[in-house]
Structure 1
Amino acid sequence: MDFSSFVVQLLNGLASASSLFLVAAGLSLIFGVTRIVNFAHGSFFMVGIYIAYSFVNILSSTIGFWPALILSPLIVGLLGAVIEISLMRRIYRAPELFQLLATFALVLVIKDAVLWFWGAEELLGPRAPGLKGSVEILSRQFPSYDLFLIVVGPVLLCALWLLLTRTRWGTLIRAATQDREMVAALGVNQAWLFTAVFALGALLAGLGGALQLPREPANLEMDLNTIGAAFVVVVVGGMGSIPGAYVAALLIAEMKAICIWLGVVDLFGIHISFSKLTLVVEFLVMAVVLIFRPWGLMGRAQSRSRHAAEIEAPLRRSSRGAQLAVWGLVALLVLAPFLTAQSPYFVVLGVDLLIAALFAVSLHFIMGPAGMHSFGHAAYFGLGAYAAALLVRAAGLPMEASLLIAPLIAALGAVVFGWFCVRLSGVYLAMLTLAFAQITWAVIFQWDALTGGSNGLTGVWPEPWLADKKNYFLLTLGLVVISIWMLRRILFSPFGFAMRASRDSALRADAIGINVPCVQWLAFIFAGGFAGLAGAIFTFSKGSISPDAVSVGRSVDGLVMVLLGGIQTLSGSIFGSVLFTWLHDAVARNTEYWRATLGGIILLLVLLFPQGVAGYAKLIAERLTTKKQVKTPDFDRAQSGAKP
């Protein structure tokens, strides 16, 4: 750890910050104007590097390396414009969370399109001509291309600043970030403004990907890896702030560089591996920033969307007929293992469906009635799963005791994380939940002595009396039914009404004596505990557990389940979880390109049922009931002139 290596690592951080800034700047622009949290933005980065690879290999001999490289972001920008016109315009007035669901489906489609066209292997591009060598800095060699990237970041920051502050188009963009509807009322063609901004954002992401071609190989994991880091940069810098995105990119990239430089440090006899912190340092930075500056370093509170509350419909008690139908379904599920004895796979799939239903319902508990959108609900699922495994393996407790204690440990994690999260709202709340989930994942992934690290924990099987899958299915069914019944009881208790009051108007709820932060905190704890129970059941059903249980992918799956069914009803999350899990299983077993197929189905459902499948069914039922009640007997007699 000498001074020269420290300087070189800082320069590496500057080079990485430039590429990260380009992606984050495009994401910030798109969110600032359209208010869409574009989950597919990382896919534009990935497509940019793949197209650059093809163009450079095909066209560099005729038009040269740099013109071929620059063509790539232009194509990505055109792709962004096509996607905005064909898809985004149809969902601008949909609830914001369903916009997120649509962009997630787009990620699946684009990933399989790239897989089909370029294959699954990593593709390494050629070195940039004129920048293949290195320069000597403090007796150390530093790549010339990285020096070029260090210059690119500030140059593009200045270009974007001039575009947004010195042109009429930039003035319209800044006005749209404050009030989109007012800009449209003044006669501005809002549709084409959105298209131009979306195309520019995609172009910047594609440029960031293309510039990475001489530094790293193109691979299919770039989309999700990049979008996570880009979200962090945008939130730390402040949503919609381009200078804030650059400052945040510098801060995070340099923090990673310093961690690499420090390596393993011995403090008072304790070995601390700072290099391992690079997996989670950006989320640590985001958590600290959001706790002390809720709107980011250079951001400010976003105005509430006029369509944000459309999904927050009041919950209603089920009719007597609906309740009888539910208990009839439960009775049918009890008999299902015996009726399908010739198909053992049904029992295995049934356990997965029940676990998914409990996980989705626990997430719906804080998303719908409490109005708190979580991108990190897998943290509590994973805490419950690992707690159950460790209680059996390390503490020697029986499975029954582990199933009781594991949800309490997950709830304890929700106590800690929820205390910070309930102080934020909107996208900032969602991103802080993501930060805590990623921190949890990093601890589990790296704590080899306790959690098994990347290998996870194996040999966690249920008790002998549950060795028969039918018995385990019935146990799972009983636990899930009781848990959902308890959550429903909470929703229709005074506490549940306080949750919905806090969601609908925090100021009015506070005025009538409701302690809003306390109510939301307790909601987090309840949701975390039941998600932990789902994780514990999952562990014993599979006999093992791995860090994937805490990954971003599982949190996103939970969001998709809730939104597919509809957030207006408790049954919507159950229906959505069953639909998504069944589709995932059926599609993955029958086609190589299952992501594109699944993404296409989700896109179709979002366009046809913007309030979720169950939410749409409920809306139709309410309309039919209203029509039947319009013509009462008294009304009919009045129409005919008869006396009542």
Structure 2
Amino acid sequence: MELYVVQFLTGLANAASLFLVASGLSLIFGVTRIVNFAHGAFYMMGAYIAYSLTIRWQTPLGFWAALVVASMAVAIIGVVIEIVLLRRIYHAPELLQLLATFGITLIAEDAVRLLWGPEDLVGPRAPGLSGAVSILGNAMPVYDFVLIFLGPLVFGLIWLMLHRTRWGLLVRAATQDREMVNALGVNQKWLFTGVFALGVFLAAFGGGLQIPRDAVTHFMDLSVITEVFVVVVIGGLGSIGGAFLAAIIVSQLNAFGILIMPGISLVLMFAVMAIVLVLRPWGLLGKQIVRSRNAAPPEGGAWKPLSTTGRISSAIAVLMAILLPFVLGDYGIGVAAEVMIAIIFAMSLQFLMSVGGLDSFGHAANLGLGAYGAALCVQYFNMPMELALFVGPLIAAAFAIVAGWFCVRLSNIYFAMLTLAYAQILWSIVFQWVDLTGGDNGIVGVWPSAWASSPQAYYWLTVACAASVVGALRYLTFSPFGYSLRALRDSPMRSATIGIHKRHVQHAAFVISAFFAGLAGVLFAFQKGSIFPDAIGISTSVDGLIMVLLGGFNTISGSVVGAVVYKVASIWLMSNTDFPRLILGVVIVLLVVVFPQGIVGTSRQLFERWQIRRRQSKPFVGTAVKNGGAA
């Protein structure tokens, strides 16, 4: 019993810093509707700056002053980012905003490595709070009791600010109806800036609070952002009270999960997140999100079957891909094979998102299921590669039949978050089921058959698979099934009136997308000769989103271009620069600003505008003049 009490108190202490970060993210999303993936980066920057200040200000007052000053410094950085970048894309699709904030995360990761070095930093203990007290015979750090007190205190201050000030009234009103607030003459830009600054301050303060408890690392942003998303979803997007309650729930699950059920401790919080999304998508204390009245309808101009020129161009592209091994060395061929696998993965996600209108944050689950399914079949049943190429995707599709039944009942951000929960549950199982999957040691020795063992032969296999997948998905896009999907995406109510069953059609699309993503996973496993849990991680899902959005959200060929550009750029930067994430992040942010419709989408838009200006510049020739007669 004594140990349970200590675990409970430890969970409450962990909930304090988790609540601070989650409340900031919830505020930002509630008002601006931005899924701020960079929130973990602000948490990390707060920890690093606070570390530098606390080692200089070695007094009790200096420690807390260092946390406040560090948080204010990060808040100023956040304000600059909001004014310079995010204001430009507030009316852009939510996924484009996610891409921009992910670019900020990449920049921040390498920036802290550049300024503080790659080593983990161990901060000083909080002056005057470094001792421990005995709780039922077990030692409990004094600092943990400070955190337990600090969590409710900050919650109370935020509640007072939101309910007893005019600014808080405007924030709550903007959470419910941004257009009405704007119609009342409120300057939305500065309201958004203020909310963003407060959210960033809370995240940075939460990072600073962790210095006496954990090492400061440049990986802490990604480690915290997943838990924060879970807290925000369980509590309710935009609900501060919900974030407080969910932070306690998640922290207690982590504390007691390790103690009581260590084998599935990582699964628990994602399972709770999935259950909440299925039963109450808007969270325990949240409210349903009101979509913007000014949301632009999906653009349909780019959806055209291939013309004769397009077919010829596609054939030339495939021929050039086939001939690549004759001009590249083994390393270049290996990179080209990775690009082909990335094309398959991106196309499978593009079909789900662009055609089906279903934004998935957990598409890596399907890639990982295909890869692990094939690897386990090879390891335990000595299955040949040829058979595994079919079995792996079928395993991914089989899991998608079950998961998709729940997922397609939701839409918009709720669907995206449930797919994230699905992927994280699978990642947790793979990571902790060591006897079957090898845990973080992975599965090794997954090699292709003899005929495909050379780099050239395996590359040609990936080219054949990529060309087949692109052709199949393009055919499906312009089939009656594809038109039904796009009808549901553009106008669900009208589609229902003509007899299109929303759940059935979208469920089928979910399974088809999973099948092709599973194929990408099988090819990935055989190329690498192994598979590890990070293939199912959130970073892999984000990679897929980046490839789709970089190429162009509303184009068929955009995913191909996006996959080639992103994969080649990331591999080249990783091999030739010391700070690849910094450069890649800058490139992503610039592409978001310069190519808001993606590389292909924006290029096509500019080309169409050029054609219109060219036609308008031609002199008008009247009919009478053309016929040589008098007017």
Partner of 1:285: 272
Partner of 1:266: none
Separation in structure 1 between the aligned mates of residue 85 and residue 610 of structure 2, nearest angstrom: 31
Q: One-letter code of the match for 2:289?
A: Q
Give deviations 1:371-407, integer Å, cap 9, x for gaps. 1111110111011111111222211221111111111
Aligned in 2, Cα 1:597/1:447: closer, same or farther, shift over 3 Å?
same
Match of 1:229 among 227, 230, 233: 227
Task: Using the TM superposition, give the Cα deviation of residue 415 of structure 1 relative to its aligned residue in structure 2, in angstroms.
Answer: 0.8
Match of 1:294 among 281, 305, 312: 281
2:10–2:144 CA contact under 8 A, matched in 1: yes
Report whether the alignment pairs 1:548 with 2:546.
Answer: no
Q: One-letter code of the match for 1:573?
A: S
Partner of 2:548: 562
Partner of 2:465: 479
Partner of 2:104: 106
2:230–2:269 CA contact under 8 A, matched in 1: yes
Give deviations 1:595-627, integer Å, cap 9, x for gaps. 000000111111101110011112123334445
Give deviations 1:281-338, integer Å, cap 9, x for gaps. 2211100111111111111211113565455435221221011110111112112212
1:143-222 aligned at under 5 Å gives the runs 143-222=141-220
1:373–1:429 CA contact under 8 A, matched in 2: yes
Aligned in 2, Cα 1:126/1:511: closer, same or farther, shift over 3 Å?
same
Aligned in 2, Cα 1:620/1:9: closer, same or farther, shift over 3 Å?
same
How many residue pairs end up in the alignment?
629
Give deviations 1:16-48, integer Å, cap 9, x for gaps. 111111001000111111111100001111111
Task: Using the TM superposition, give the Cα deviation of residue 66 of structure 1 relative to its aligned residue in structure 2, in angstroms.
Answer: 2.2
Separation in structure 1 between the aligned mates of residue 81 and residue 619 of structure 2, nearest angstrom: 53
Aligned in 2, Cα 1:338/1:180: closer, same or farther, shift over 3 Å?
same
Aligned in 2, Cα 1:642/1:630: closer, same or farther, shift over 3 Å?
farther
Give deviations 1:161-184, integer Å, cap 9, x for gaps. 111111000011111112223222
Give deviations 1:126-163, integer Å, cap 9, x for gaps. 11122222222222221111111111111111111111
Separation in structure 2 between the aligned mates of residue 326 and residue 95 of structure 1, nearest angstrom: 29
Gaps of 5+ in 2: none
Aligned in 2, Cα 1:641/1:172: closer, same or farther, shift over 3 Å?
farther
Q: One-letter code of the match for 2:84?
A: S
Q: Higher mean Cα deviation, 299-308 or 346-355?
A: 299-308
Aligned in 2, Cα 1:369/1:300: closer, same or farther, shift over 3 Å?
same
1:312–1:369 CA contact under 8 A, matched in 2: no
Task: Using the TM superposition, give the Cα deviation of residue 362 of structure 1 relative to its aligned residue in structure 2, in angstroms.
Answer: 0.1
Partner of 2:316: 328
Partner of 1:65: 63
Partner of 1:442: 428
Partner of 1:95: 93
Partner of 1:614: 600
Report whether the alignment pairs 1:397 with 2:383.
Answer: yes
Q: One-letter code of the match for 1:45?
A: Y
1:49–1:212 CA contact under 8 A, matched in 2: yes
2:264–2:429 CA contact under 8 A, matched in 1: no
Aligned in 2, Cα 1:178/1:636: closer, same or farther, shift over 3 Å?
farther
Match of 1:304 among 284, 291, 309: 291
Task: Using the TM superposition, give the Cα deviation of residue 466 of structure 1 relative to its aligned residue in structure 2, in angstroms.
Answer: 1.4
Match of 2:9 among 8, 11, 19: 11
1:374–1:434 CA contact under 8 A, matched in 2: yes
SS at match of 1:296: coil
Give deviations 1:550-580, integer Å, cap 9, x for gaps. 1111111000000000111110011000000
Partner of 1:269: none
Task: Using the TM superposition, give the Cα deviation of residue 344 of structure 1 relative to its aligned residue in structure 2, in angstroms.
Answer: 2.2
Give deviations 1:261-294, integer Å, cap 9, x for gaps. 32xxxxxxxxxxx124332322111001111111
Partner of 1:416: 402
SS at match of 1:142: strand
TM-score, with normalisation over the residues of structure 1? Answer: 0.94
SS at match of 1:579: helix
Partner of 1:583: 569
Aligned in 2, Cα 1:363/1:638: closer, same or farther, shift over 3 Å?
farther
SS at match of 2:55: helix
Q: Higher mean Cα deviation, 612-621 or 32-41?
A: 612-621
Report whether the alignment pairs 1:316 with 2:304.
Answer: yes
Match of 1:353 among 339, 356, 359: 339
1:108–1:596 CA contact under 8 A, matched in 2: yes
SS at match of 2:133: strand
Report whether the alignment pairs 1:24 with 2:22.
Answer: yes
Partner of 1:265: none
Partner of 1:574: 560
Q: Higher mean Cα deviation, 467-476 or 367-376?
A: 467-476
Task: Using the TM superposition, give the Cα deviation of residue 635 of structure 1 relative to its aligned residue in structure 2, in angstroms.
Answer: 6.3
Gaps of 5+ in 1: 263-273
Separation in structure 2 between the aligned mates of residue 484 and residue 38 of structure 1, nearest angstrom: 32
Separation in structure 1 between the aligned mates of residue 511 and residue 60 of structure 2, nearest angstrom: 62
Separation in structure 1 between the aligned mates of residue 576 and residue 171 of structure 2, nearest angstrom: 45
Separation in structure 1 between the aligned mates of residue 236 and residue 499 of structure 2, nearest angstrom: 33
Q: Higher mean Cα deviation, 68-77 or 395-404?
A: 68-77
1:5–1:261 CA contact under 8 A, matched in 2: no
Identity %: 51
1:380–1:532 CA contact under 8 A, matched in 2: yes
Aligned in 2, Cα 1:62/1:242: closer, same or farther, shift over 3 Å?
closer
Aligned in 2, Cα 1:401/1:189: closer, same or farther, shift over 3 Å?
same
2:46–2:207 CA contact under 8 A, matched in 1: yes
SS at match of 1:141: strand
SS at match of 2:557: helix
Partner of 2:478: 492
Task: Using the TM superposition, give the Cα deviation of residue 94 of structure 1 relative to its aligned residue in structure 2, in angstroms.
Answer: 1.9
1:77–1:200 CA contact under 8 A, matched in 2: yes
Separation in structure 1 between the aligned mates of residue 427 and residue 105 of structure 2, nearest angstrom: 22
SS at match of 1:318: coil
1:95–1:307 CA contact under 8 A, matched in 2: no
Q: One-letter code of the match for 2:286?
A: G
Aligned in 2, Cα 1:62/1:536: closer, same or farther, shift over 3 Å?
closer
Aligned in 2, Cα 1:639/1:417: closer, same or farther, shift over 3 Å?
farther
Q: Higher mean Cα deviation, 461-470 or 359-368?
A: 461-470
Partner of 2:51: 53
Q: One-letter code of the match for 1:305?
A: S
Task: Using the TM superposition, give the Cα deviation of residue 70 of structure 1 relative to its aligned residue in structure 2, in angstroms.
Answer: 2.3
Separation in structure 1 between the aligned mates of residue 72 and residue 420 of structure 2, nearest angstrom: 32
TM-score, with normalisation over the residues of structure 2? Answer: 0.96
Separation in structure 1 between the aligned mates of residue 355 and residue 396 of structure 2, nearest angstrom: 21
Separation in structure 1 between the aligned mates of residue 416 and residue 66 of structure 2, nearest angstrom: 39
Separation in structure 1 between the aligned mates of residue 265 and residue 625 of structure 2, nearest angstrom: 76
Q: Higher mean Cα deviation, 147-156 or 184-193?
A: 184-193
Report whether the alignment pairs 1:338 with 2:336.
Answer: no
Separation in structure 2 between the aligned mates of residue 631 and residue 400 of structure 1, nearest angstrom: 58
Q: One-letter code of the match for 2:177?
A: D
Separation in structure 2 between the aligned mates of residue 152 and residue 508 of structure 1, nearest angstrom: 51
1:110–1:596 CA contact under 8 A, matched in 2: yes
Separation in structure 2 between the aligned mates of residue 68 and residue 334 of structure 1, nearest angstrom: 59
Aligned in 2, Cα 1:312/1:249: closer, same or farther, shift over 3 Å?
farther
1:432-471 aligned at under 5 Å gives the runs 432-471=418-457
1:94–1:307 CA contact under 8 A, matched in 2: no
Q: One-letter code of the match for 1:328?
A: I
Partner of 2:129: 131
